[in-house]
Amino acid sequence: ADGAALYTAKGCSACHGADAKTPIMPAYPKLAGQNAQYALNQMKDIKSGARNNGQTAAMKGIVMGISDEELQAIAEWLAAQ
Amino acid sequence: ADGAALYTAKGCSACHGADAKTPIMPAYPKLAGQNAQYALNQMKDIKSGARNNGQTAAMKGIVMGISDEELQAIAEWLAAQ
């Protein structure tokens, strides 16, 4: 899967910025350069509900529509930014 | 409060790296350059238990011993890295 294409197609860029480091709100994280394993774990935990603090409710709907393999591709693309 | 001094004195550097971007485990986040508001919210949520996913259990004991004002200073220091 193409992480860069998924990052945009699945709507991540809308909140975290096209470059993954200009989020539209100060309460949203910058993601560029983050550890892939950490980023993947957070997306999976938001998807499962194991993490539901802060602004994650807005994100849960989005990650529900993304497979774990696709989340892995997105996490690896983020780590490379 | 001096965010840089607190970051080291309170033990954050032990897991996240002295430069806040070389965590000792891939499942720990890089923090350097993160939005201060986001970082502060996560530390407060781990402290309150509103966020308790992944590796946060290891961190809860540490943030319990840090005041919200000190967490603010640490978050601002992180954003400036």
Domains with residue ranges and CATH for chain A:
3-79 (1.10.760.10)
The minimum CA-CA distance between B30 and chain A, rounded to whole Å, is: 6
For residue range A17-64, what is the model confidence (pLDDT) as tens digits? Answer: 999 999 999 999 999 999 999 999 999 999 999 999 999 998 999 999
Q: List, for residues B18-77, the tens digit of each pLDDT value.
A: 999 999 999 999 999 999 999 999 999 999 999 999 999 989 999 999 999 999 999 999
Cβ contact, residue pair A53, B36, below 8 Å? no
Q: Cα separation of A64 and A49, whole Å?
A: 10
- Helix ranges (H only) for B1-81 are 3-9, 12-16, 36-48, 56-64, 68-79
Secondary structure letter of residue B20 according to DSSP: S
Evaluate if residue A13 carries a pLDDT over 90.
yes
pLDDT of residue B13: 97
> Which of A20, A24, A58 has its CA nearest to residue A39?
A20
Nearest CB to B29: which of A34, A45, A50? A34
- Which tokens sit at B2? 């001096």
Which class for A24: exposed (0-12), middle (13-18), buried (19 or more C-beta within 10 A)?
exposed
* Predicted local distance difference test score (pLDDT) of residue B1: 87
Residue A73 pLDDT class (50, 70, 90 cuts): very high
